[in-house]
Every structure is written in C-alpha cells, then in structure tokens.
Amino acid sequence: GDSVTQMEGPVTLSEEAFLTINCTYTATGYPSLFWYVQYPGEGLQLLLKATKADDKGSNKGFEATYRKETTSFHLEKGSVQVSDSAVYFCALNSNAGNMLTFGGGTRLMVKP
Amino acid sequence: EAQVTQNPRYLITVTGKKLTVTCSQNMNHEYMSWYRQDPGLGLRQIYYSMNVEVTDKGDVPEGYKVSRKEKRNFPLILESPSPNQTSLYFCASSFSPDFYGYTFGSGTRLTVV
C-alpha cells in the first residue's frame, strides 16, 4: 500500500536558518504530492503541492520538488521565522483516489 | 469565506452514549472525508464521500458511521463510543483530492471516558 515517511522531529532552528524536512514515499503509479502545515490548535492548511514529476511547488517562501527517481518531496525554506513554528505533514494521493495518505508529521520550532 | 465548519470543537462524553459530529462546507465540493489524528500515527481516513448518497470506508472505519444526504453536510456518527475513539477529528472537502488536496476544518477534540 501507499506510505509516506517523514523525518522525526522536533526540528529546532534559530531564526533565519535554512530548513529542510525530508519526505519520501511509496506509491503505485504517479501520485500527487502535498505539504500541509498545522499551527497549534488549528486544522491543516495546504502549503504547497506538485502533481507530476519534476514539478516544484512553492508558497510563502517554502519549496518542494517532486523527484520521481528518488521518490522524494523534501520541504525547504531559505530563512525560517518564528511564525513558521508548526507541525508539517507530507501527503500523497495516488491513482486519483479519494484518500490522502499522510506521513507522521514533523514539528518545527524556530527560536528568536 | 470558503470554509469547512465542524461542531463541536471540544466534546467529552461517556462510553456508549451516541454522538454526532457535524461537518458543513460552503464550497460546493463533491468530495468529503473524515480523518482522525493520533500522536505518532499521523492522520488516518475514517470514511469518505464522492457525492450525495455515495460513501465508502477509509482505513479505520470501525465504530463509525456517516451519511451524505446533502452535498454540503457530512456528519460523523459514533453509535456507541469507546475510549479508543478518543482522538482529534478532522472533516475535509475537495473538488478533486488528487489535484487540489483537501480543505480541512478546525477539528473536533473528542474524549470518551
């Protein structure tokens, strides 16, 4: 079955540091890939997405590139802010189905 | 404002007492889904619906029921809640999950004692 593996957190960074959160996946066919962010006490918000190989999703300074050869979709940001502190989830949708399969989430803490 | 609205936000109940968590979306989405979020397990799909009167099981459907009588509403029903259903529940909707992903509600934290 489909699965998503994320690096375990928490990830603790200082403000303006470079961020990478690793995500790899196993899926049939050519899945769509997503990153969601969950701020404390809130629901999940779509951060970015990529629907085919080599696509780069980007939003709010975050980027991720769909790498089919390595089955990866790593999240990056060049300079994090305290306000980026949240839990980040990588997810996939395969075979145009109804379900998003989520990774376990990675908590990011950014210190001033 | 386009949104998915869940109620209640917090609920404490006793084992065996039937409850319903409501979910409504105002975006005319065809797809709706329920997820539960548990520490260390991420989010797991309970049930989903492709349209009115069309529902199907997700990964963890045991102990839950759903109905889709109208396009905008997708209630989650726990007929006889048990402590292992203590969790954070999210309703979500989409035009097309494979392209747009899902839009999530703010969540319902359920505690069954």
**What tens-digit pLDDT sequence spans chain A (112 residues)?**
889 999 888 999 999 999 999 999 999 888 999 999 999 888 899 999 999 999 999 999 999 999 999 999 999 999 999 999 999 999 999 866 778 899 999 999 999 9
Q: A5 at the B interface (CB within 8 A)?
A: no
Q: Widest CA span of chain A, in angstroms?
A: 43
Taking only the tens place, the pLDDT of each residue in B18-62 is: 999 999 999 999 999 999 999 888 899 999 999 999 999 999 999
Note whether A64 contacts B: Cβ–Cβ < 8 A.
Answer: no
Distance from CA of B56 to the nearest CA of A (A): 10
Q: Which of A55, A98, A101, A106 to mutate to test the interface with B (most CBs of B within 10 A)?
A: A98
Partner residue facing B101 (CB), from A42, A46, A103: A46
**Tokens found for residue B63:** 């102990």
In this complex, the residue of B41, B102, B105 whose CB is nearest that of residue A100 is: B102
